[in-house]
Amino acid sequence: MSAETPGSSECDLSECYGDQTGDDCQTEGVLLLPGGEVEDVKVAQHGEAPESNASLCQLLRMKKFKEFSLRMGDLASLYNVPGDGDTRLKVLKSLQHLQKDLLKISNLPRHLIASDAHVDLVLNGRIGSITPSKEGNPMSIEYYISPSDAMMERLHPGEGNRSQAAVVVVVGASATTHRLQMESLIPTPPQVDSTGLPAFIPLSETCSELLPAFFLLKMKPPVPMLSSFIHKMSQITDLPPDADLQGEPLFQLLQLTALEDKRSCDGKDALFLVSLPDAEFHSYLFTTAEWKCDFWKGSLIHTVPFTHPAHVPALLDLLRYQSAVNTLLASCITSLKHQPELVCDLSGEIVPESDCSFSVTFSIPDSETLAVLLVSVVNCHQLRCRLLMPGTVDQSLDDYISRVLTRCMSIPITLRAIRKRLSSLRPPALPLEPESARKAVSSSSTPAHCAVENTPAILPPAMLSPEPMEEDGLPSNPGHYVMSVAAAPAVDVANTDAIANRSNCASVSVYSHWVASSFPAELV
């Protein structure tokens, strides 16, 4: 411990938080100034000399005691392994070699796909965006960022006003032993295969040991995940899943994690109100009976166990895939209360269709007919959309919808864009005779909306940026679209194949122009 300033005092953290870390890591204490201000926090790890921990010190100075306690829990999780001190030190050494190998994988050369370097690293990097272990904090990996969060980060960098999909890499106790690496498994120089991943040295008795532990990806925050995805993760790691595979409807898990009022998740049908710019309101219905189908049931995942660095890229790819599905459905889930007197501009029903595919039924503007938007999440970056409605619509409209939805990852914004596009495709109305025009004006009325000035919008103001955007292939509004009253022929699946990606994930090139600018004008 460094020399104390005159009149300062030292507080032992174990008196406040208990001995969470054991013999391998000791939180030395908090050095207080005479006025009670925190001067320093020191941590000693596995026999090393105590070192100042700036992040823990800053949390105490800001009186963020809850966050401080969580960080202490993360620190303790590094050493949550049974056995004697020698076993725990071996597990810690294995974790350190794993972290070095993950950094090596992350630093392998690759082609930049998105224009924003951080977004590209998060979405297209083999490992994601890594924050190495430092000051006793576990290594963390950011693996997914939604378009709205990417926009907020670009407009307000470093403010921490966005959510973050990340995991921390720690160790966990196991009832059985597993062979864990005791040295780096990536040779120097690395040999890269066709997927862009390195060839690994086989685990043997010379480079590994049997230990009563495994590595863990600890979700921050926990992730609602489909049972089929949980099963795929178990196949990758060859470890049983740490989750209840009986499952609950995915939308209820999303509702539970997205809303502060947990009492609203009562298993009944759910109707959500979504606020859009220009006082536009949508309502979206989720019917519990429809969502109880087996392929749309899931569980809330807190940790994913694994034993080899080669597991991590594949696990993160599945987490990205699930995050894309969750982001789409969560765009229709809000805490706004439905008001009986409010006339919604659009009412839709979200219905599951097949594995990772769902439909949205909604009304067509100025028509008594309904349209159905089929959405298929092909992988973590590629969506396919088909619009089913009376009449013949140019197939390029499906391609347009797919790209709009991929750019914004929001069902309400996409339906708003569809309705505007359909309105623009209609032929102009014939001019009325003067007498008829007067009658039309006198008989017209404006739909009544309740007062909504104080209703908060779900979309952040930053998403309404007036900054222009390059259309970059988005269909413009020319007049060559034709609508027919004949029976609609079968519409082929839209050609929305992503650009080939040299890494192990699919391309997210459609994000690049979105991040570099703003939404297309027709979306707002």
A 10 A CB-CB count for 301 gives 21
Strands (E), 335-382: 346-354, 357-363, 370-377
Phi/psi-derived region of residue 158, left when phi > 0, alpha when psi is between -120 and 50, beta in every other case:
left
Residue-level length of the chain: 524
Assign 3-state DSSP to the chain and report helix, strand, coil percentages, each to 5. 30, 25, 45
Q: Record the tokens describing residue 193, joined without a space.
A: 């295969």
| Residues in contact with 403: Cβ distance below 8 Å, sequence separation at least 6, in sequence order | 473, 474, 496, 510
Residue 28 is predicted with a pLDDT of 55
Residue ranges, the chain, pLDDT below 70: 1-36, 45-48, 77-80, 82, 136, 158-163, 243-245, 260-267, 392-393, 426-524
- Distance from C-alpha of 370 to C-alpha of 387, rounded to nearest angstrom: 11
Tell the burial category of 492 from Cβ atoms under 10 Å away from its Cβ (0-12, 13-18, 19+).
exposed
Task: Locate the domains of the chain by residue range.
Answer: 9-77, 85-246+299-324, 346-427+449-523
Q: Is the peptide bond before 221 cis (omega within 30 degrees of 0)?
A: yes
Spatial strand order in the sheet of 51-52: 9-11, 25-32, 38-45, 51-52
- What integer pLDDT is reported at residue 8 of this predicted model? 45
Token pair, residue 157, equals: 């960098």
Give φ, ψ of 275 to 5 degrees. Answer: -95, 135
Q: How far apart are CA 101 and CA 308, in angstroms?
A: 10
β-pairing verdict for 280-286 and 346-354: parallel
**pLDDT at res. 499:** 37
What's the one-letter identity of residue 161? N
pTM score, whole prediction = 0.76
Helix (H/G/I), strand (E/B), else coil: 354? strand
C-beta of residue 177 within 8 angstroms of C-beta of residue 212: yes
281, containing H or E segment: strand 280-286
- On whether the CB atoms of residues 356 and 382 are closer than 8 A, the answer is no
The 10s digit of each residue's pLDDT in 84-100 is 788 988 998 999 999 99
Helices (H) and strands (E) in the chain, counts: 14, 16
Report pLDDT for 105: 96
